[in-house]
Amino acid sequence: SVEASIPEPQREAWTKNEFEGFKNKDEFEKEVVRHVETTLARSMFNCDETAAYAAASLAFRDRLVKEWNKTQQRQTFTDTKRVYYLSLEFLMGRAFDNAMLNVGAKSIAKEGLEELGFRIEDIIGQEHDAALGNGGLGRLAACFLDSMASLNFPAWGYGLRYRYGIFKQEIIDGYQVEVPDYWLDFNPWEFPRHDVTVNIQFYGHVRKSQDENGKTIAHWEGGEDVTAVAYDVPIPGYDTPSTNNMRLWSSKAASGEFDFQKFNNGEYESSVADQQRAETISAVLYPNDNLDRGKELRLKQQYFWVAASLYDIVRRFKKTKRAWSEFPDQVAIQLNDTHPTLAIVELQRILIDVEGLEWDEAWNIVTATFGYTNHTVLPEALEKWPVGLVQHLLPRHLQIIYDINLFFLQAVEKKYPGDRDMLSRVSIIEESQTKMVRMAYLAVVGSHKVNGVAELHSDLIQTTIFKDFVTIFGADKFTNVTNGITPRRWLHQANPRLSELIAKKTGGYGFLKDLTLLNKIENFVDDKEFRKEWAEIKYANKVRLANYIKSTMDITVNPEALFDIQVKRIHEYKRQQLNIFGVIYRYLKLKQMSPEERKKQLPRVSIFGGKAAPGYWMAKQIIHLVNNVGAVVNKDPEIGDLLKVIFLEDYNVSKAEIITPASDLSEHISTAGTEASGTSNMKFVLNGGLIIGTCDGANIEITREIGQENIFLFGTLSEDVEDLRHSHNYGQHSVGAGLTEVFNAIQSGTFGDTNDFGAMISAVRDHGDYYLVSDDFQSYIDTQKMVDDEYRNQEGWITKTIRSVARMGFFSSDRCINEYAEGIWNVEPLAV
């Protein structure tokens, strides 16, 4: 603030003493040693890799902080419009390697660390992933932060600082076991801002009064307060000084450590209990992917986070002394899924109850400010909150929700008089046995733009869940922004040799900022030397993964084999069960062959990885089956290298960076119409792997970009899914000969305990096969056979992978951010 700024005459002393950060190797080493000796209070006689990681990170952090401060000052002084990306999840992974690459000083660090006695890979390996997310949605938010900083957009991420991120997965006796992820022991990348706090109110009641003009004023009173404390994380852009901010809120008791009143009265336990109850709000990330469980604590998390964020945003706006009508010219807020939808209600509350604006004026500001990104059409994932719960926790917000709904329905009635079905279909309040607030509808009504995340998905939301809203608001309100990924992390960082080869052929690293420049490598598709190097890099990446598998699981896999990988959250709609049934089928066929015939077969390593939500029993059974199949197949002497089945423990971002570059084939085989986009599909292709996939999510656009000759598509189309489901339930449903053979093998005990897998088989055979595993099984097997045949022709395969990489430019998250900026946020980058 102005009061805290140093008077003009004294500023020279500041400028003169400005901290510069290291500029070369020697200065870097000096900074590392300084941090070891002073910040960590250690010395060369007790500096292990953990300490070296800490000191090296702090040296980089110091440099980042400089640019971070400057970026924030620049944004404040130019008084420019900012973007606020509200996401309950940011799946960041590791920060150190990313910081080195984005700042452009990795080689300095590598040499410096070497001189100090450390290998940079070992130091990078010390960092604990920041795993504040479940999967695709959280990783998308992380890629977007990278792109917004790299493109110089004035943008902040707002989230929650969970004490426990997504649990760590251990596999014990073939079963998933969850272990808490306590990641905050040492985290040099966050800055606690104990001076940036907000008190957040819960419960209580609403009192109404009249002002001198007879206007009704609502007062939300009573209840309890919890304090939100800001923790800031610098987000460095690539090849630019722009360093943005991610602000994560942590909860603590509003009275501080303890309620001293209670403490003094001898109520020790109750005083500690209050404190713990407050801290519980930001304690854990809910571990469900694409599932809404409706827990009260989750709603508390949501309000805590959006209320703190909006307070912060409004405070920043008010410092500009502008009129409220200019709020949407200064502020764009993007809602990553419906989790932050209460922000719409909270801003309306602030404007009418606190700032005294009229309803309509406030509502125009609100709707012009928000954009909403939908991430799913799966009914079990669509958020709904019981009216009673909202009433109890946020009494004033429920009133506002009712008013929003009333005015909305009045407008609908005016436009479609007498259409009562329409009114009940689109009402934000679902008039069910337990009345529910439909958060997606509230998000649509309260935003000026609604987008899906791939073309098929954006079309689907407009014809299914939001069909009536398209009629009411017009199609212009709905748009598509196909997801993307940051090439900095997912090519340059994860696959440095490939990145270097591409740089050599395209005239430098410009492709990392304009990914469409990748198309230049297609000119080298017939270049012998280039192809040789291309193949060598893939092989080296497979060897790296093979070594990782050997060291963590003590299983030897042959890097010459085809590496077939499916890593993502375990979910019935993602159909890992289809994959493992296919693997079993392959095993049975190999067993039935003569030894001569077997010798002609192509060796394959089937790799699975991913976490199941702790309460998702069926997903856990799928993990169990994969492990049991592996236990049998991997030690079958008749099979040897022809088939290995691997379940990689604890899939996360840093492991994805090892796994993704090592695939020949990756699987994206969701039932058509269920996967909104997928982003790992893009990562695998960008790293020179091919896809076996369904016509779902972004697979469709990937096909359009890279050519259908370069992807293995199979299975039911989304337009046929409903009819097939219907026929399963009301017609004859047989699962076919191949799958029957697989089920018989499982049920005969070939893979251990038959009881465990009965439900998985029944879901397909007896209970309607909702995910169409049986319908797609044969075409999946046939397509896998085609994969084998194509892979035998290595030259043809290499050509496909080169052409695919060359054509992946569209899937950069930079392209996404530019589309959001132009079509939804109306913001410009800020020149540096």
Quick one: which of 168, 203, 147, 491 has its CA closest to 334? 147
* x/- map, 517-556, ligand PLP, by CB under 6 A: ----------------------------------------
Stretch that binds ligand PLP, among 95-103, 132-140, 216-224, 542-550 (CB under 6 A): 132-140
Smallest distance, ligand PLP to C-beta of residue 136, A: 4
| CB-CB neighbours of 368 under 10 Å | 16
Using CA atoms, how far apart are residues 456 and 462, in angstroms rounded to an integer?
A: 10
Smallest distance, ligand PLP to C-beta of residue 620, A: 17
**Residue placing its CB nearer to ligand PLP in the complex, 458 or 652:** 652
Smallest distance, ligand PLP to C-beta of residue 677, A: 7
Smallest distance, ligand PLP to C-beta of residue 139, A: 4
According to the binding rule CB under 6 A, does residue 288 interact with ligand PLP? no
According to the binding rule CB under 6 A, does residue 689 interact with ligand PLP? no
In the residue annotation, 571 being an active-site residue is answered as no
List helix spans (H) across 487-527: 487, 496-506
Smallest distance, ligand PLP to C-beta of residue 575, A: 12
In the residue annotation, 78 being an active-site residue is answered as no
Smallest distance, ligand PLP to C-beta of residue 652, A: 5
> Which entry of 61, 247, 375, 538 is annotated as an active-site residue?
375
In the chain, the amino acid numbered 407 is F
According to the binding rule CB under 6 A, does residue 226 interact with ligand PLP? no
**Residue placing its CB nearer to ligand PLP in the complex, 447 or 652:** 652
| CB-CB neighbours of 438 under 10 Å | 22
Q: Which residues of 418-435 are buried (b: 16+ CB within 10 A; e: fewer)?
A: eeeebbeebbbbbeeeee
Token pair of 86, please?
Answer: 């509200």
According to the binding rule CB under 6 A, does residue 683 interact with ligand PLP? yes
**Residue placing its CB nearer to ligand PLP in the complex, 292 or 667:** 667
According to the binding rule CB under 6 A, does residue 135 interact with ligand PLP? yes
Q: Which of 244, 405, 679, 801 binds ligand PLP (CB under 6 A)?
A: 679
List helix spans (H) across 79-115: 96-103, 106-115
In the residue annotation, 574 being an active-site residue is answered as yes
> Which entry of 240, 369, 482, 679 is annotated as an active-site residue?
679
> Which entry of 531, 568, 586, 611 is annotated as an active-site residue?
568
Token pair of 314, please?
Answer: 């409004």
Q: Are 158 and 232 within 8 A, CB to CB?
A: no
Stretch that binds ligand PLP, among 135-143, 307-315, 526-534, 727-735 (CB under 6 A): 135-143
476 by Cβ neighbours in 10 Å (0-12 / 13-18 / 19+) ranks as exposed
* x/- map, 614-653, ligand PLP, by CB under 6 A: -------------------------------------xxx
Q: Which of 301, 680, 699, 804 binds ligand PLP (CB under 6 A)?
A: 680
According to the binding rule CB under 6 A, does residue 136 interact with ligand PLP? yes
**Residue placing its CB nearer to ligand PLP in the complex, 286 or 530:** 286
Distance (Å) of CA 220 to CA 140, 253, 394, 651: 36, 20, 9, 45
Task: Tell me how many residues contact ligand PLP (CB under 6 A).
Answer: 12
Q: Which of 35, 61, 82, 139 binds ligand PLP (CB under 6 A)?
A: 139
Q: Are 697 and 678 within 8 A, CB to CB?
A: yes
> Which entry of 538, 542, 683, 807 is annotated as an active-site residue?
683
Instruction: For Cα atoms 746, 750, 754, give the angle at the middle one, nearest 5 degrees.
Output: 50
**Residue placing its CB nearer to ligand PLP in the complex, 29 or 289:** 289
> 201: phi > 0 → left, psi -120 to 50 → alpha, else beta; which?
beta
Give the relative orientation of helices 96-103 and 106-115 as an angle to the nearest 10 degrees: 120
According to the binding rule CB under 6 A, does residue 678 interact with ligand PLP? yes
According to the binding rule CB under 6 A, does residue 340 interact with ligand PLP? no
Smallest distance, ligand PLP to C-beta of residue 564, A: 14
Cα-flanking dihedrals φ and ψ of residue 696, to 5°?
A: -145, 150
Stretch that binds ligand PLP, among 268-276, 350-358, 413-421, 674-682 (CB under 6 A): 674-682
Q: Are 692 and 784 within 8 A, CB to CB?
A: yes
**Residue placing its CB nearer to ligand PLP in the complex, 82 or 489:** 489
Quick one: which of 714, 713, 680, 706 has its CA closest to 799? 706
Residues forming a β-bridge with 216: 210
List the 449-452 sheet strands across, edge first. Answer: 191-202, 224-236, 243-253, 155-160, 82-86, 331-336, 370-373, 449-452, 478-480
**Residue placing its CB nearer to ligand PLP in the complex, 146 or 346:** 146
> Which entry of 163, 574, 575, 815 is annotated as an active-site residue?
574
**Residue placing its CB nearer to ligand PLP in the complex, 142 or 362:** 142
Distance (Å) of CA 236 to CA 75, 97, 245, 293, 443: 15, 11, 9, 35, 31
Smallest distance, ligand PLP to C-beta of residue 676, A: 9
Token pair of 452, please?
Answer: 């899906």
**Residue placing its CB nearer to ligand PLP in the complex, 139 or 349:** 139
Smallest distance, ligand PLP to C-beta of residue 656, A: 4
In the residue annotation, 611 being an active-site residue is answered as no
Using CA atoms, how far apart are residues 483 and 453, in angstroms rounded to an integer?
A: 5
**Residue placing its CB nearer to ligand PLP in the complex, 347 or 656:** 656
**Residue placing its CB nearer to ligand PLP in the complex, 436 or 653:** 653
According to the binding rule CB under 6 A, does residue 609 interact with ligand PLP? no
Cβ neighbours for 556, distance < 8 A, ≥ 6 positions apart = 546, 550
| CB-CB neighbours of 305 under 10 Å | 28
According to the binding rule CB under 6 A, does residue 579 interact with ligand PLP? no
> 174: phi > 0 → left, psi -120 to 50 → alpha, else beta; which?
left
According to the binding rule CB under 6 A, does residue 568 interact with ligand PLP? yes
Helix (H, G, I), strand (E, B) or coil at 87: coil
Whole-number CA gyration radius for the chain: 28
In the residue annotation, 435 being an active-site residue is answered as no
List helix spans (H) across 593-731: 595-599, 617-633, 653-659, 680-686, 699-706, 718-730
Residues forming a β-bridge with 607: 565, 646
* x/- map, 364-403, ligand PLP, by CB under 6 A: ----------------------------------------
In the residue annotation, 683 being an active-site residue is answered as yes
**Residue placing its CB nearer to ligand PLP in the complex, 86 or 453:** 453
According to the binding rule CB under 6 A, does residue 685 interact with ligand PLP? no
Smallest distance, ligand PLP to C-beta of residue 678, A: 4
Quick one: which of 266, 265, 228 has its CA closest to 247? 228
**Residue placing its CB nearer to ligand PLP in the complex, 138 or 582:** 138
In the chain, the amino acid numbered 71 is T
Smallest distance, ligand PLP to C-beta of residue 569, A: 6
Q: Are 440 and 363 within 8 A, CB to CB?
A: no
| Contacting ligand PLP within 653-672 (CB under 6 A) | 653, 656
According to the binding rule CB under 6 A, does residue 168 interact with ligand PLP? no
Question: Residues interacting with ligand PLP, by CB under 6 A?
Answer: 135-136, 139, 568, 651-653, 656, 678-680, 683
- Residues labelled as active-site residues: 375, 568-569, 574, 679, 683
